[in-house]
């Protein structure tokens, strides 16, 4: 037990000494790996954000607005609402009045005041809004809506149905996930190669130390542990640096995006925390594994 504790202490102290005695080489490795971590983290977060935006768009796409004529009575509208609510393809029905349509348009940032001044009244139609169970039913419901006598065709179309948008969104989500995945995998391999070579350089500097340890009768794992711990330490430090940079950039870019666009992206703190934990674990594993591979060559020399 005393021997084991002494070995652990030796490995920890040696790892710390290795790191600080060759600070320039160690920090070069940490910064290089930190940069890779920044790229991996950035890619993950970007993929997630794009995915979230697209998912949000997809949620909105399962809605169809049936534009109504201005002259309809509330009773007629209620009859049609009830009719749609009994349709099995429909998940939810809502009514948007002309005034509510103005409010919603203004929330999306549309400037309607000049249009009101020219036209003298509210040009936006009221609508019955249907949420469909499956996106494939949108086309059929659109055809049904167009045949109804209550629809307003004065603006050119009876609904806001856009048949091309759904497949485009779905393929965009698939592409984003794939590109993000492949990019992350490529970056992971690159960082493994970089950390391996950095550790190999660090190990090369200390080859005499390894040689002496072997000659005086140290076991392979006794020689390996300080280097592996040093790799883990460097990996965690690099991941912490990368993750901090990603988190700061995420906050900043999100604020900018929400100020300058109307995407309404929400800050996903849970995903960010999970990503930081993942990056740190990934950094530790990568650093440890890179060191294991780096020192292997010298052990078997």
Partner 1 sequence: MSLAAVMPPQVGQKPDPGMRPVISFHGVSKTYPNGTEAIRDVDLAIYQGDFCFVVGASGSGKTTLVRLLIREEIASTGRIFVDGQETTRMTRRRLPRLRRKFGIVFQDYKLLPKLTVAQNVAFALQVTKPGQRHLKEKVEETLWIVGLEDKLDTFPDELSGGEQQRVAIARALVHRPRIFLADEPTGNLDPDTSWGIVQLLLQINHRGTTVLMATHNREIVDLCRRRVIAIDSGRVVRDEVEGGYLREGEATI
Residues that bind partner 1 in the complex, under the rule CB under 8 A: 2-7, 10, 21, 208-209, 211-220, 222
**Residue 176 tokens, joined:** 């984003």
34 versus 226: smaller Cβ distance to partner 1: 226
Closest approach, Cβ 29 to partner 1, in A, equals 19
Which residue in 218, 238, 221, 228 sits closest to 293, CA to CA? Answer: 228
* CB closer to partner 1, 6 vs 248: 6
Minimum gap (Å) between residue 195 Cβ and partner 1: 24
Q: Distance between CA 170 and CA 164 in Å, rounded?
A: 11
Closer of 226 and 231 to partner 1 (Cβ): 226
| Least distance in angstroms from the C-beta of 249 to partner 1 | 39
Please, what is the minimum distance in Å from the beta carbon of residue 276 to partner 1?
35
Shortest distance (Å) from residue 15 CB to partner 1? 14
| H helices present in 62-164, as ranges | 74-85, 98-107, 113-119, 138-146
Instruction: Output the six-digit token pair for 91.
Output: 């998940």
**Residue (48 or 206) nearer to partner 1, CB:** 206
Residue closer to partner 1 (CB basis): 219 or 264: 219
Pick from 271, 263, 282, 283: which is nearest to 247 by CA? 271
Q: Identify which of 295, 293, 292, 283 has the alpha carbon closest to the alpha carbon of residue 234.
A: 283
Q: Name the pairing type of β-strands 90-96 and 127-132.
A: antiparallel
């Amino acid at each position: 037990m005393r021997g084991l504790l002494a070995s652990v202490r030796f490995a920890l102290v040696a790892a710390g000494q290795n790191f600080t005695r060759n600070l320039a080489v160690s920090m070069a490795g940490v910064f290089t790996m930190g940069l890779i971590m920044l790229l991996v983290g950035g890619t993950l977060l970007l993929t997630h954000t794009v995915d979230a935006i697209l998912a949000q768009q997809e949620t909105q796409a399962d809605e169809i607005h049936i534009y109504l004529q201005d002259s309809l009575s509330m009773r007629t509208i209620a009859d049609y609402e009830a009719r749609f609510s009994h349709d099995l393809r429909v998940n939810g029905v809502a009514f948007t009045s002309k005034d509510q349509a103005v409010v919603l348009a203004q929330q999306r940032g549309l400037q309607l005041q000049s249009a009101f001044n020219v036209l003298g009244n509210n040009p936006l139609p009221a609508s019955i809004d249907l949420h469909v169970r499956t996106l494939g039913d949108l086309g059929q419901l659109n055809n049904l809506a167009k045949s109804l006598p209550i629809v307003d065709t004065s603006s050119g179309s009876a609904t806001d149905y856009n048949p091309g948008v759904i497949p485009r969104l779905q393929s965009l989500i698939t592409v984003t996930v794939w590109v993000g995945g492949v990019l992350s995998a490529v970056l992971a391999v690159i960082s493994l190669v970089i950390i391996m070579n950095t550790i190999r350089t660090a190990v090369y500097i200390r080859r005499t130390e390894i040689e002496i340890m072997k000659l005086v009768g140290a076991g392979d794992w006794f020689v390996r542990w300080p280097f592996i711990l040093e790799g883990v330490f460097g990996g965690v430090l690099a991941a912490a640096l990368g993750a901090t940079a990603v988190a700061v950039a995420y906050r900043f870019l999100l604020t900018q995006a929400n100020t300058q666009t109307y995407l309404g992206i929400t800050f996903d703190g849970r995903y960010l925390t999970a990503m930081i934990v993942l990056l740190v674990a990934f950094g530790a594993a990568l650093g440890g594994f890179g060191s294991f591979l780096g020192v292997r060559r010298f052990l078997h020399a």
